Amino acid sequence: MSSSALPAFHSTTIKDALVRLFPFGTRTIEGQIHEFPLIPSDLFAGAAFLIEHGDLYRRIAPEGPQSKATGVRFSLTPEERRGCETIGEEWIKTFREENSELLNAQAIQAYWDVLIKHQGEPLRPGEKLSEASVEICHAAMALLVISDRACHEIGFRSREPDWFSLFTRGETLNHQSTIEDEINNDRWHVRNRAFNDTICIVADQQVARVLPKSRTPAVGCTMRTLTENLALLPPSGGVNMHWFHPVGDPKHDGNALNVLAIPYPYRIAASDFKPGNRNITEPDGSWNWFTLTQSWLPDNKKAVAQFVLELIREAEKDCGTVHGVVFPEYALNWETYTELVQHIRTDAPGVEFIVAGSSGDEEGAKGNFVLTTTFEEAKQERKALTYSRAKHHRWRLDKAQIREYGLASALDPHIFWWEDIAIEPRKVGLTAFRKRSIFSTLICEDLARSEPCHSAVRSVGPNLVFVLLMDGPQIASRWSARYATSLADDPGCAVLTLTCKGLIQRVNTMGRRPQNNAVALWKDDVNSVSSLDLPNGAAALLLTLSAESTQEATLDGRTTAAAAAWRYHSHVPIFPNEKAKQALSRSAP
C-alpha cells in the first residue's frame, strides 16, 4: 500500500479537548471557548483535563534545575504560585460577599488566552517539549492552582456561604421536603439524594467530573497528588460519586468520635445459606447461586432498635456520648433499619450517623446494600437523611471458604457458589461530617476489587472508610488488612473493617485456625494494623477516634491546609444489660 493510501490520523488538539469538555461553550454559548469559565470548578476541569490527558503532570515537580536524566521538569516559581493562590483566595471572597465583579479576572483571562493562542497545538506533546507546549503547561498549571485554591473548604461545613451550598441537598432541608423525598411518608425521614455527581456547571460530566477532596496522597506521581481541594474524576457511568454536604454548625475534627461497632449477627446457621435453583447437571454445572435468609432477625421489627438503644446507654456510661453506630454486611433488613433510625432519632440525640449492611433498600429492592443515615437539625426538627447503594461485586464461595465456615451441609463444596444479587449502577456515597472530614463505605469485595471505584475513591480521599464484611477474624495476615493498608498508603484513608461474630464463631468451631475473636480491624496512614477483639459475652466494641491535623504537600510543592488524619485511640467491650438481652432473646450474644 502506498503512503498516499494510508488513512490520515488527526492528532487531538487543545481546541478539540476544550470543545469536547465544554460543548455548550465556557459561558453557555455553543462553540465559544475564548473566555474562561466563571465557576472555579469548571475552570479547574479545563486545566486539569489538559494536564492529565496531555500527560503533563508527570513533568511537574517542585522548583529545581532541569535534569538531563529526568527530562524536562516544569514548575511555577514560588512567586507565581503565591500570586495564583492569592487570585484564588480573592475569587472565594467574590462569592461570599455576593460581589458580581470578579477581581483579577484579567489575570485569569491572560492565562486562558495562552491556551486559546495555542489551541491548534496537539493535546499530547512529544517528549521534547516545544516552546508552545511549555507555555501551555505553564498556563494550565497556573489556572489549576487558581481554581484549586478558589475551592478551599468547598463541600464541607462552613459558616461562610459559598456557591457550592446552593447545589447541595443540605440547603433543601431548610425548605419543605416533597412526598418523593419522604421515606414511608414520614416527614422526619428523608432520602439523601445527590443532585449530581459533579460540582461543575458547564463542563460536560460525560467527559470529566469534579468533586471536592479531603486527602492529598503523600506518595506517587498522579493527578491526585497534584491538587489540594478538588479531584478530577472520569466521566459518569463507571461509578457515580455522590457528595453529601451537611447542614448546621461544624463540630471540630479533633473532638472525640465514639463509634459503637456492633458485630451482629452473633450466630449464623449453615442453613442461612440457601442454594439456588440452577440446574448444575448441565454441561456448565460448575457453579450455582446462593442467597442468605437472615434467620437471625427477630420477628419483632423493633427488637433490634431496642437492643441497640440499650447498648448505647451502656456505652455512654463510659464515654458520655456515642456519635456513630456501625453494623457489618447483611446484618439488617430495611424494615429493621427504619425502626432503628426512628428510635435513634428520638432517643439517642448524640448519634451523628448510622452505617449498616442490609438485604433491602428504601425502594423495596432486595440484594446487598449499605445504608447510611445522618441526622441534621432543620426547621426545629431532627431529621434523618438516608442514602443507600448496592454492592459492586458478587461474593463467590469456593471449596476453601465452605470448609473454613463449615457450610458443606448447605452448599456443595465441589462447585463455586455466587451471591445471587443484581449488580446495580455503581455508586459511592461521600458524607461530609465534622469540620473538614468525609467518610465513605465499602462492602466486602468492593475493598478487594480495584475496579470500578478505587481510582475515584483515591482521588477524593475520604478521611475515614467503613468496610462492612461477612468474613472471618480481622487480623493482619488476612486479605482485608492488605487492602486496607493500600488505601491507608494512598490517599491516606483511615480504614475500619467490621465483620459479624456469627461467621467468626463458625471459623473458631471448625478448629482449623487458632481461636480468634477479632471482629474489627483498624489501619491508618502512619500506624500499623490493629486487630480489635470482642470478648465472650460482649455485644459491641466502643471505639474512640479523633482527628489530628497533618500538613500535606502537592506534587508541585504547594503546602496544603491542615488535613484531618483520623486516629484510633482505644476500645472497650460493651456487654448487654438485661433489657438488651430480653430485646433480642434467642439471637443475643
C-alpha span between 87 and 19 (Å, rounded)? 26
pTM: 0.92
pLDDT at residue 116, as a whole number: 96
Report cis status (omega within 30 of 0) of the bond before 217. no
DSSP for residue 7: P
pLDDT at residue 95, as a whole number: 67
Number of Cβ atoms within 10 Å of the Cβ of 95: 20
Distances (CA, A) of 278 to 15, 74, 123, 284, 397: 54, 59, 52, 10, 16
Model pLDDT for residues 275-293, shown as the tens digit of each residue: 988 766 666 678 999 999 9
C-alpha span between 192 and 181 (Å, rounded)? 8
pLDDT at residue 560, as a whole number: 81
Report cis status (omega within 30 of 0) of the bond before 275. no
pLDDT at residue 348, as a whole number: 96
**259: Cβ–Cβ under 8 A, 6 or more apart, which residues?**
322, 323, 324, 325, 326, 496, 542, 543, 545
Residue with cell 424494615: 335
pLDDT at residue 75, as a whole number: 79
| All domains of the chain in start order, with CATH | 14-152 (no CATH), 256-405+425-551+565-586 (3.60.110.10)
C-alpha span between 21 and 53 (Å, rounded)? 12
Number of Cβ atoms within 10 Å of the Cβ of 29: 12
Within its chain, how far is the Cα of 135 from the centroid?
36
- CB 426, CB 239: distance < 8 Å: yes
Q: Which of 529, 531, 544, 551 is nearest to 471 (CA)?
A: 531
Q: In what order do the strands lie in the sheet with 416-419?
A: 273-275, 287-292, 416-419, 396-397
Question: How many alpha carbons lie under 13 Å from residue 227 in its C-beta half-sphere?
Answer: 37
- CB 69, CB 75: distance < 8 Å: no
C-alpha span between 443 and 419 (Å, rounded)? 13
Residue 16: strand, helix, or coil: helix
What average pLDDT does the structure give for the chain? 87
Report cis status (omega within 30 of 0) of the bond before 234. no
pLDDT at residue 169, as a whole number: 42
Report DSSP letters for 456-501, one per residue: HHHHH--SEEEEE---S---TTSHHHHHHHHHHHTT--EEEEE--H
Model pLDDT for residues 5-23, shown as the tens digit of each residue: 544 445 899 999 999 999 9
pLDDT at residue 3, as a whole number: 41
- Which residues of the chain carry a pLDDT beneath 50? 1-4, 6-9, 65, 67, 69-70, 169-180
Percentage, residues of the chain above pLDDT 70: 86
pLDDT at residue 138, as a whole number: 93
- CB 186, CB 29: distance < 8 Å: no
